[in-house]
Amino acid sequence: MNDVIHTADHLDHADLATLGEGQVAYVKPMSSDEVTRLFPGAPALQPGLDLFAVISASGAPILLADTRDAAVANAWANDLQTVSLH
């Protein structure tokens, strides 16, 4: 356990941002009103829709789905382990 703490003490922000990249994806519930902030190129959506974003370990948006199951299935299909964000 001390080795893990010691190693973590030497990680900078860039190292932390890429930790889990290509292995972990975050599933974040969001409303359609928030989509343009995370997905700037997304088309206009009906306001008030409940959606789910899949986000890479570094915070880059990967995809947007209308159900949590669809978001998780797509992440798994791309060999990404999912973690929920609230």
- The pLDDT tens digits for 10-51 are 655 555 455 555 568 889 999 999 998 888 888 889 999 999
> Rounded to two decimals, what is the model's pTM?
0.70
At 15, list the tokens.
């190292």
Furthest-apart CA atoms within the chain: distance in Å: 50
Which pLDDT score, from 0 to 100, does residue 66 have?
A: 94
Which pLDDT score, from 0 to 100, does residue 77 have?
A: 92
Share of the chain above pLDDT 70, in %: 71
Which pLDDT score, from 0 to 100, does residue 2 have?
A: 47
Q: What is the CA radius of gyration of the chain?
A: 15
Which pLDDT score, from 0 to 100, does residue 5 have?
A: 47
CA distance to 20, 25, 48, per residue, from 53 (Å): 17, 10, 15
Domain enclosing residue 48, as ranges: 2-84
Q: How many domains does the chain have?
A: 1
24, with CB counted inside 10 A (0-12, 13-18, 19+), is middle
